[in-house]
């Protein structure tokens, strides 16, 4: 009997779950998702980075971000892949590492418009579903629990007050040598949330079965503990 029980536990521990983390801009998804994935030995997929990479290509080609038809024509000529190597993940745009370039403010300003185009979303969703098919993955974005993996094993919806999100983004940018005022950052974050929640296709919204995690006053460690505990509950 004991043998049977322990075998069951091991099988549960080996379950490769799909963890979906959604939420608005700068709510802490990336840092937390990366650490959760490390704790579980899972793959971390930053889907925002993929939309940013495609947006970078649009800008590099000098295409107007309102020109939906030209942007859609770029889709079949583009590959966006995530590459994981010794704990570091990079974004490859047509085989070139663009992990740094995609964080530039001009990409941030354009990404909501580009990511609202159907053809762009279809390309990204296909890639993301292929990466997650076997489980053992933490995906973060805006539509993971609603569209990409509506049957994900654990769904978290991360939120935080806009002012706190601006403060975090400012710190992150300063570490990269870019200084943007807090007011400007807060405005940009609120503006992007508005675009991401009001678009017709796969808007940012909380899945019915998602667990809300308000990170405003939580440390990164607390956020990670919260999610890992939910995953462990699910495995049991
Ligand atoms: O997570 P992020 O801030 O790097 O995402 C950049 C943009 O990409 C975000 O403003 C909207 C878009 N995005 C999306 O439409 N769907 C996702 N799953 C992830 C990001």
Give the predicted TM-score (pTM) of the model.
0.92
Q: 123-169: per-residue pLDDT in tens?
A: 999 999 999 999 999 999 999 999 999 999 999 999 999 999 999 99
Atom of ligand 1 nearest to the CA of 108: 6
Rounded to the nearest angstrom, the distance between the alpha carbon of 209 and the centre of ligand 1 is 21
Cβ of 23 less than 6 Å from ligand 1: no
Q: In what order do the strands lie in the sheet with 43-46?
A: 43-46, 137-141, 18-22, 154-159, 211-214
Q: Which H or E run includes 107?
A: helix 105-114
Cβ of 52 less than 6 Å from ligand 1: yes
What does the pLDDT read at residue 168?
Answer: 92
For 14-227, the fitting CATH number among 3.40.50.1000, 3.40.50.300, 3.40.50.10490, 3.40.50.150 is 3.40.50.300
**Residue whose token pair is 């993996």:** 149
Atom of ligand 1 nearest to the CA of 140: 18
Cβ of 91 less than 6 Å from ligand 1: no
The full set of domain ranges for the chain reads: 14-227
């Amino acid at each position: 009997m004991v043998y049977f029980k322990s075998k069951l536990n091991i099988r549960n521990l080996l379950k490769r779950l799909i963890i979906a983390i959604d939420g608005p801009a700068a709510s802490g998804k990336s840092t937390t998702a990366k650490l959760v994935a490390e704790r579980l030995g899972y793959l971390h997929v930053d889907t925002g980075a993929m939309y940013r990479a495609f947006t970078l290509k649009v800008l590099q080609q000098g295409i107007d971000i309102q020109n939906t038809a030209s942007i859609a024509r770029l889709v079949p000529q583009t590959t966006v892949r995530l590459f994981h190597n010794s704990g570091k993940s990079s974004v490859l745009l047509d085989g070139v590492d663009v992990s740094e370039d995609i964080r530039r403010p001009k990409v941030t300003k354009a990404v909501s418009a580009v990511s609202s185009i159907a053809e762009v979303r279809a390309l990204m969703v296909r890639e993301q579903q292929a990466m997650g098919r076997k489980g053992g993955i933490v995906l973060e974005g805006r539509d993971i629990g609603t569209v990409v993996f509506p049957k994900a094993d654990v769904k978290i919806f991360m939120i935080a007050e806009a002012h706190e999100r601006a403060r975090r983004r400012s710190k992150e940018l300063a570490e990269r040598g870019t200084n943007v005022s807090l007011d400007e950052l807060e405005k940009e974050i609120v503006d992007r949330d508005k675009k991401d929640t009001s678009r017709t296709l796969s808007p940012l919204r909380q899945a019915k079965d998602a667990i809300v995690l308000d990170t405003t006053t939580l440390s990164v460690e607390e956020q990670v503990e919260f999610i890992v505990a939910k995953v462990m509950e699910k495995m049991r």
